[in-house]
């Protein structure tokens, strides 16, 4: 059989399955005319992007066989999930995992009915779909995920279907620059395929309306060799020939060390009754148009593709790659063949000896030595990401082990840049850092993202999407457990006396804790030793997002190594016990801890029980029969929601800009004087005088008095 014929037969099979998933409840092979009872009562899903993505999948499978090459496929327009389900079903992977969805007539009925149906499956390329590592529900992250996936995966090609609507999003627009960070020898390759079908939900796309020459210049300016083809006009066999040639050209460009991008121009809703219009975005036909639906489905000639029992004809099965080479069966997208833990050094080797060293320390600087050793021990499966902030966030020591990744021109004035660098710090994009880290983790490796606390909010929606992914994958036994996504929030709101108000935003934790504790944890280690043990715990975990808020400025050290380990294990520590306490004082965060300790010194005659909380999830368990003051790093609404039983809640109140560190705390009411007033109301007048005295002092000298 000619190659074009089998490509067409496979393509038609994938399109038939994809369209039938939208509409059919029964009569899967159209053995009789369609009746009202054969059609779903409510048609939900998308079609416009689907045939183009089936076309790409067909040709990538062909390339797997032709080049004996591992491919994964990331679908940016993942709302067309029926395409991926169809291909996984043809390849057999779907039935291997979901054994009741057999490759026969009864299996086809189940396959079609379950799609976008109550108690069935999502209409997106969801975690339930074998071969998926990116749902694509929220657009913009596909290309960054691909670049992260191929880091330290030199034999892998990640093909990415980028929707031309998706290409207008901010995260995707910046992701094209990911080609500047792939080492040609040590990393894999990314093949972006821009699916130029011309329309979004109800508008044309920009890239489709500019000229071909403008598109070419746009991508050439970002370092890509452009291969543009158009299909859907002059017959399907020439279309297949053009696409096969485009893949061949891309593979040759890879061999020459170049970065290809394929621009696939196809009609929106290709092969359906509604083409080349935004109206094909979702379902081209309504359920009452039964005759038109039947005519459309029969246009794929299913009788030529299936045997009478509903199984696929042999040539279609023979065309599919075999075993783990099937795109839907590639274990990279499952999270790896098995979970591989990091080799971690002993925390005690890096801990501060507070008995013999009483000087203030920079917690992040102490942590950096631990991170550097992890990078030594795990040279191929551990990286950290930061948007040009690694040095600012005091992650100095890893630079003694490796350098920043940089594949472009090097100049004598540059510092710490290298072609072989493993520190992903050279691009100022939170979206790119988060996206590449997610791609790295989703394929079974380990790492963390360190950024300014306030600007982590740039990627909070990405974190939400990752949390939703984890929530679903934890229920899928066939998926490999994933390393935790660890986010270090530093340069935090209480350490922005020079940057000011724009750099004060502690709300990411409040937003993320809408997820359950088995999906998201938030930690506030108050010193270097607790930070070390917190990081160890997070790097050993699975299937979770961990938010770690840490100080980078010199600060007092509180816990010896053994105490720190216990505090992290329990999630809290009774720093000062008082069996018959007048008041319980609870602090969460390095700055609240410091101010509470100072407040206790002001009220020596009061019996104060002082508790330091490290794990925010234990707040709900705390209950006392005496007045209780909770002093929190962030917004108090979070603590009130977790535990409404405390007497006073102190925290960040959106006050303060360019001022001193202590004045910031006074303005927000978490300072030692305000806390002392609550513990001992009789000191109110004295404490107010202290605040006034301090305000006058900073106005004259520009530094804190106390």
How far, in Å, CA of 598 to CA of 590, rounded?
A: 13
**What separation, in Å, do the N-terminal and C-terminal C-alpha atoms of the chain show?**
86
pLDDT for position 457: 95
pLDDT at 18 over 60: yes
Q: What is the mean pLDDT of residues 274-300?
A: 94
Sign of CA dihedral 25, 30, 32, 36: positive
How far, in Å, CA of 304 to CA of 70, rounded?
A: 30
Q: Is the pTM of this model over 0.85?
A: yes
How far, in Å, CA of 179 to CA of 18, rounded?
A: 33
pLDDT at 1 over 70: no
How far, in Å, CA of 449 to CA of 438, rounded?
A: 10
- Inter-residue long-range contacts of 114-123, CB under 8 Å, 24+ positions, other chains counted: 115/21, 115/22, 115/45, 115/81, 115/82, 115/85, 116/21, 116/22, 116/44, 116/45, 117/40, 121/81, 121/85, 122/81, 123/44, 123/45, 123/46, 123/79, 123/81, 123/82
Spatial CB neighbours of 344, under 8 Å, sequence gap ≥ 6: 374, 377, 536, 539, 540
pLDDT for position 303: 97
How far, in Å, CA of 369 to CA of 371, rounded?
A: 5
Report residue 615 as tokens.
């794990």
Strands 70-75 and 156-163: parallel
Q: Which residues pair with 593 in a beta bridge?
A: none
How far, in Å, CA of 266 to CA of 361, rounded?
A: 60
pLDDT at 658 over 90: no
Mean model confidence pLDDT for the chain: 96
Where is 584: in which H helix or E strand?
strand 583-588
Half-sphere exposure at residue 83, Cβ-oriented, CA atoms within 13 angstroms: 27
Q: Which of 76, 219, 207, 72 lies closest to 141 in space, CA to CA? A: 76
Kindly state the percentage of the chain with pLDDT values over 70: 100
Q: Which of 452, 391, 439 lies closest to 417 in space, CA to CA? A: 391
- Judge whether 359 and 555 are in contact, CB under 8 Å: no
pLDDT at 631 over 70: yes
Residue 382's SS3 state is strand
Q: What are phi and psi of 192, to 5 degrees?
A: -75, 135
- Judge whether 433 and 386 are in contact, CB under 8 Å: yes
Rg, the chain, Cα only: 29
Q: What is the pLDDT of residues 507-542, one digit of tens each?
A: 999 999 999 999 999 999 999 999 999 999 999 999
Q: What is the pLDDT of residues 560-586, one digit of tens each?
A: 999 999 999 999 999 999 999 999 999
pLDDT at 129 over 60: yes
Model confidence band, residue 497 (pLDDT cutoffs 50, 70, 90): low
Report residue 611 as tokens.
């508790």
Spatial CB neighbours of 415, under 8 Å, sequence gap ≥ 6: none
Under DSSP, the state recorded for 556 is: -
In terms of Cβ atoms closer than 10 Å to its own Cβ (0-12, 13-18, 19+), residue 391 is middle
pLDDT at 552 over 90: yes
Q: Could you tell me the CA-to-CA distances from 55 to 13, 38, 76, 276, 330 in Å, in that order?
A: 11, 27, 15, 16, 19
Half-sphere exposure at residue 230, Cβ-oriented, CA atoms within 13 angstroms: 6
How far, in Å, CA of 438 to CA of 385, rounded?
A: 10
DSSP string, 447-480: EEEEEETGGGGGGHHHHHHHHHHHHHHTT-TTSP
Q: What is the mean pLDDT of residues 378-405?
A: 97
Model confidence band, residue 4 (pLDDT cutoffs 50, 70, 90): confident
How far, in Å, CA of 543 to CA of 442, rounded?
A: 10
628 Cα distance to chain centroid: 38
Spatial CB neighbours of 356, under 8 Å, sequence gap ≥ 6: none
Q: What is the pLDDT of residues 200-214, one digit of tens each?
A: 999 999 999 999 999
Q: What is the pLDDT of residues 78-103, one digit of tens each?
A: 999 999 999 999 999 999 999 999 99
Q: Which of 316, 421, 351, 410 lies closest to 14 in space, CA to CA? A: 316
How does 204-231 read in b/e, with b if 16+ C-beta sit within 10 Å?
A: ebebbeeeeeebbeebeeeebbbbbbeb
Q: What is the pLDDT of residues 313-347, one digit of tens each?
A: 999 999 999 999 999 999 999 999 999 999 999 99
């Amino acid at each position: 059989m000619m190659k074009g014929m089998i490509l067409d037969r496979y393509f038609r099979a994938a399109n038939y399955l994809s369209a039938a998933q939208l509409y059919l409840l029964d009569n899967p092979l159209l053995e009789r005319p369609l009746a009202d009872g054969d059609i779903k009562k409510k048609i939900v899903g998308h079609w416009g992007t689907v045939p183009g993505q089936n076309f790409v999948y067909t040709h990538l499978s062909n390339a797997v066989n032709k080049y004996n090459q591992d491919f994964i496929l990331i679908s940016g327009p993942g709302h067309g999930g029926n395409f991926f389900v169809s291909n996984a079903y043809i390849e057999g992977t779907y039935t291997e995992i979901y054994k009741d969805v057999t490759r026969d007539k009864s299996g086809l009925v189940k396959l079609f009915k379950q799609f976008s149906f109550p108690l069935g499956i999502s209409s997106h390329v969801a975690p339930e779909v074998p071969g998926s590592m990116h749902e694509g529900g929220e657009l913009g992250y596909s290309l960054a995920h691909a670049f992260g996936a191929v880091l330290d995966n030199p034999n892998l090609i990640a093909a990415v279907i980028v929707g031309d609507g998706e290409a207008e999003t901010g995260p995707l627009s910046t992701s094209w620059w990911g080609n500047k960070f792939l080492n040609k020898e040590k990393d894999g390759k990314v093949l972006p395929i821009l699916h130029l079908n011309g329309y979004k939900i109800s508008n044309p796309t920009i890239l489709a309306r500019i000229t071909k020459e403008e598109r070419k210049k746009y991508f050439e300016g970002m370092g890509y060799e452009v291969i543009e083809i158009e299909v859907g006009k002059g017959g399907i066999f020439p279309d297949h020939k053009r696409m096969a040639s485009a893949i061949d050209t891309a593979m040759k460009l890879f061999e020459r060390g170049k970065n290809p991008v394929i621009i696939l121009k196809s009609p929106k809703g290709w092969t359906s009754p509604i083409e080349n219009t935004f109206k094909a975005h979702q379902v081209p036909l309504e359920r009452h148009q039964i005759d038109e639906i039947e005519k459309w489905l029969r246009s794929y000639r299913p009788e030529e593709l299936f045997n009478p029992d509903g199984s696929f004809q042999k040539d279609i099965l023979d065309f599919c790659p075999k075993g783990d080479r099937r795109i839907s069966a590639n274990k990279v997208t499952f999270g790896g063949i098995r979970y591989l833990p990091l080799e971690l050094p002993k925390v005690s080797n890096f801990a501060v000896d507070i008995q013999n060293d009483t000087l203030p320390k920079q917690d992040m600087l102490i942590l950096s030595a631990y991170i550097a050793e992890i990078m030594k021990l795990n040279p191929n499966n551990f990286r950290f990401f930061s948007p040009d902030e690694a040095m600012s966030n005091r992650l100095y020591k890893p630079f003694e082990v490796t350098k920043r990744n940089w594949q472009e021109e090097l100049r004598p004035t540059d510092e710490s840049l290298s072609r072989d660098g493993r520190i992903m710090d050279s691009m100022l994009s939170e979206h790119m850092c988060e996206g590449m880290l997610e791609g790295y983790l989703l394929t079974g490796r380990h790492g963390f993202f360190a950024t300014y606390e306030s600007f982590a909010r740039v990627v909070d929606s990405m974190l939400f999407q990752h949390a939703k992914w984890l929530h679903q994958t934890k229920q899928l036994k066939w998926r490999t457990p994933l390393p935790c996504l660890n986010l270090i929030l530093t340069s935090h709101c209480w350490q922005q006396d020079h940057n000011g108000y724009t750099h004060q935003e502690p709300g990411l934790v409040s937003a993320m804790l809408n997820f359950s504790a088995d999906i998201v944890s938030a930690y506030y280690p108050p010193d270097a030793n607790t930070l070390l043990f917190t990081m160890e715990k997070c790097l050993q975990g699975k299937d979770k997002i961990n938010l770690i808020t840490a100080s980078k400025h010199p600060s007092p050290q509180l816990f010896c190594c053994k105490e720190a380990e216990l505090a992290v294990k329990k999630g809290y520590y009774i720093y000062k016990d008082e069996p018959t306490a007048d008041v319980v004082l609870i602090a969460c965060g390095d700055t609240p801890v410091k101010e509470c300790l100072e407040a206790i010194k002001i009220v020596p005659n009061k019996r104060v029980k002082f508790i330091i909380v490290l794990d925010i999830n234990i707040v709900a368990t705390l209950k006392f029969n005496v007045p209780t003051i909770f002093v929190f790093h962030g917004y108090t609404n979070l603590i009130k929601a977790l535990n409404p039983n405390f007497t006073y809640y102190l925290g960040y109140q959106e006050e303060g800009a360019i001022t001193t560190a202590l004045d910031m705390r006074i303005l927000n009411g978490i300072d030692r004087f305000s806390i002392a007033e609550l513990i001992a109301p009789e000191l109110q007048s004295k404490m107010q005088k202290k605040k006034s005295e301090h305000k006058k002092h900073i106005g004259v000298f520009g530094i804190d008095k106390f």
